[in-house]
Amino acid sequence: MTNDPQSKPNDNLFTSFQEEIGDSPWWSWNWKRNIVDDLNAPELYSQRAVWGFSLILAPIFGAILMAMNFKRIEKSRLIFPIVAFGIAWYVLAMLMIPEHSHSSAVYILNMLGGLVLVYFFWPQFIGKELKYRK
């Protein structure tokens, strides 16, 4: 605890928690670390947007956002494979859950597909250190 009268006890707890987990990719504030205001940086859909569209709609929509990002950073050769991944994930999900309804299994599969996009494809093909605008 600090002796600063303006400091709240929870501020120190949060700072301590951030220091403890470091650069863990599982926490949302790390999704923001490469977002800049620099007008020279490419304008991309963020990792959070890719994951959110994947979770709420389906990973095919997150894959389309990733494909648009690939086009913007001039990696057009990766558009087909990422869209193919999204379609394949969707087909596999349909086969695994024949009653493709609002069950929690659908959201779990969507979440996993989004995580694959954000934590496998993004670092591999866009890069961990690429600075971009959203």
pLDDT for residue 1: 47
Q: Are residues 49 and 90 in the same domain?
A: yes
Q: Are residues 119 and 90 in the same domain?
A: yes
Residue 28 contacts residue 34 (beta carbons within 8 Å): no
Q: Are residues 74 and 100 in the same domain?
A: yes
Q: Are residues 27 and 75 in the same domain?
A: no
Q: Are residues 44 and 25 in the same domain?
A: no
- Structural domain including 3 reads 1-32
Rounded to whole angstroms, the Cα distance separating 38 from 32 reads 14
Neighbours of 72 (CB within 10 A): 15
Q: Are residues 47 and 28 in the same domain?
A: no
pLDDT for residue 4: 53
Q: Are residues 18 and 40 in the same domain?
A: no
Rounded to whole angstroms, the Cα distance separating 122 from 78 reads 11
Q: Note the pLDDT tens digit of each residue in 79-106.
A: 999 999 999 999 988 888 866 566 788 8
Specify the pTM. 0.74
pLDDT beyond 50 at 21? no
* pLDDT, average across residues 37-45: 92
Residue 93 contacts residue 100 (beta carbons within 8 Å): yes
Question: Three-state DSSP class for 43?
Answer: strand
pLDDT beyond 60 at 11? no
pLDDT for residue 128: 87
pLDDT beyond 70 at 45? yes
